[in-house]
Structure 1
Amino acid sequence: MEPKVDVRRSASRDRTKIAWLDSKHSFSFGTHYDPDNTHHGLLLVNNDDIVRPGFGFETHPHRDMEIVTWVLQGSLVHQDSTGHSGVIYPGLAQRMSAGRGILHSEKNDVAGAREPVRFVQMWVLPDESGIDPGYEQLEIEHELLRGGLVPVASGMARHDAAIRIRNASAALYAARLEAGGSVRLPEAPFLHLFVARGSVTLEGGVTLGGSGPLGEGDAARLTATGGQRVSATEPAEILVWEMHATIAA
């Protein structure tokens, strides 16, 4: 593979906007289909969702997908057919393995909810299908306060503190950066950098086409590279996927 950085701007994302939902899709999703934008590495979905109070996604099925939900604002109520239920909030990482089949709902209906909930939901394809459905969550707020890239969810053994992604050669990191703060990206065959909040600059060069500013909602898809420094030009929150496989054509 040739080293490459593919910058995708926020304004280029497809959007689903209805009375209770404003959802921006980094990849093909639902009725928004582009055969040239179906995935990067193992990542198929990176949805940036805002849900009004009292509304949400009613019970619906998933299968053979590792689903990580990262809340940026407000609280999201989760319920699934394995008997798990709870509230996801900023700093709490959650992973759901759909496996051979699971039903779940996600709603902004915490008692007294008055503000929209904003969250990023990400789906990665596991290496094995038909596994048992599962669920895991972990509070990592204190880790985020220390700065740096914090493992949120991982299918790789070296990340002891992260929640587990089952049967997938991938890891998700989050970082909250103050203005002037920076982190260095890992090196991997496939990386996906998403600016969830604020703005950053991505170190790069003319040969990679990846240097320059990235604003809220912008993303960079890196292939056969890594090690670039990401620096915040204002307080920012970033999500980074490290992936060591891709989806077969």
Structure 2
Amino acid sequence: MFDIYKAEERYTADHGWLKSNFSFSFAEYYDPSNMQFGPMRVLNDDIVQPLRGFGAHPHREMEIVSIVLKGQLKHEDSTGKSAVTTFGGIQRMSAGTGVVHSEVNPSGDEEVNFLQLWFMPEEYGLTPSYERTDFDPAKMKNALLPVVSKHHGEDVAYIHQDLTIYLSELEPEKDLSFHQETGRRIFFFVLEGEVILNQDHHLNRRDSARITETESLQIKAVKNAKFMLIDLP
């Protein structure tokens, strides 16, 4: 089953310094029919202006992943961790029993565009932790590159949930196949370009698909495409 969500159907919040597009209920946007997809609770497509950002604020019992698409994102938290992430970097924070953090754009002249993803953890009461990892964007070319996972090891950010986030860049007329176990879910999000899923479902830039009861997914690029695929329980 394929549920397609077009980019323009997302809720948009524009605060001047911050423009966000919400794929799930978040903040002032509440839709009881769009609260989560499996353990996936939030996907915000955020653009933050130079020298602005999210000041120190608390979280509990959530796995939070940030994927920078353009610009720089500076993280600081109450565990003493601090890092700047650009494209090619992933940050994962386990809020666990409670953490306070800030996420700001340290650049004086360039906006930052990043994806903010929240997932419910497999278990509660974890000690808060933060991890920043790097991946080689060249390895996205015509391949599914794991960047966050409970199951993949070196150079992949660890997450306390039975999921894997893949990134890919697919050349025109190239295709990829993804197979998973019965009963699992796929969340698919087009970062750039245009793709066709299983020869039938056309998705453009920032469109997404929530896929169930489908063990085999064929992905074909109509034109050069970048996308995120999340394998979920």
Q: Structure 1 length as normaliser, TM-score? A: 0.88
Deviation at 1:143, TM superposition (A): 5.5
Are the aligned partners of 1:6 and 1:221 in contact in 2 as well (CA < 8 Å)? yes
What residue number does 1:238 align with? Answer: 227
**Offset from partner CA, 1:209-235 (integer Å, 9 cap, x none):** xx2210111000011213211122222
Aligned match of 1:121 = 116
Match of 1:164 among 158, 161, 164: 158
Aligned match of 1:78 in 62, 75, 78? 75
The answer to whether residue 217 in structure 2 is matched with residue 223 in structure 1 is: no
Moved over 3 A (4+): none
1:147 CA displacement: 3.5
Alpha-carbon contact 1:175-1:238 (below 8 Å) kept: yes
Q: Which amino acid aligns with 1:180?
A: E
Per the alignment, residue 52 of structure 1 pairs with 49
Tell me by how many angstroms 1:174 deviates.
0.8
* Cα distance in structure 1, aligned partners of 2:90 and 2:125: 24
The gaps in structure 2 that reach 5 residues or longer are none
Give the C-alpha shift of residue 58 in structure 1: 0.7
Match of 2:59 in 1: 62
**Counterpart in 2 of 1:34?**
31
Rounded to whole Å, the distance in 2 between the matches of 1:169 and 1:64 is 16
TM-score, L = length of structure 2: 0.94
Which residue number corresponds to residue 169 of structure 2? 176
Count residues with an aligned counterpart: 230
1:144 Cα deviation from its structure 2 partner: 2.8
Contact 1:203–1:229 (Cα < 8 Å) also in 2: yes
Distance in 2 between residues matched to 1:145 and 1:185, nearest whole Å: 14
Contact 2:83 2:132 in 1 (8 A): no
Q: CA RMSD in A?
A: 1.4
* Separation of aligned partners in 2, 1:142 and 1:202: 23
Q: Which amino acid aligns with 1:136?
A: E
CA contact (8 A) 2:73 2:112 kept: yes
Alpha-carbon distance change, 146 to 238 in structure 1, aligned in 2, over 3 angstroms: closer
Q: Kindly provide the CA deviation profile for residues 140-181 of structure 1, in whole angstroms up to 9, marking residues without a partner as x.
A: 12563553111111123xx12321102x11111111222223
Distance 1:164 1:46, change over 3 A: same
Separation in 1, partners of 2:210, 2:137: 28
Q: Is 2:8 the partner of 1:14?
A: no
CA contact (8 A) 1:41 1:191 kept: no
1:34-56: CA deviation from partner (whole Å, max 9, x where unpaired): 00000111101011111111111
Q: 1:165 is matched by which residue type in structure 2?
A: I
SS in 2 for 1:199: strand
SS of residue paired to 2:36: coil
Q: In 1, are the aligned partners of 2:141 and 2:170 still within 8 Å (CA)?
A: no
Contact persistence 1:191–1:226 (CA under 8 A) = no
1:187 counterpart residue number: 180
Within the candidate set 123, 135, 148, 1:140 is matched to: 135
How far apart, in 2, do the equivalents of 1:41 and 1:185 lie? Answer: 19
Confirm or deny that 1:96 pairs with 2:96.
Answer: no
Q: 3-state SS of the aligned residue for 1:114?
A: coil
Once the two structures are overlaid, the 10-residue window that deviates more, 139-148 or 59-68, is: 139-148
Name stretches of at least 5 consecutive residues in structure 1 with no aligned partner. 205-210, 245-249
Residues 177 and 218, structure 2, Cα contact 8 Å, conserved in 1: yes
Asked if structure 1 preserves the Cα contact closer than 8 Å seen for 2:141 and 2:168, the reply is no
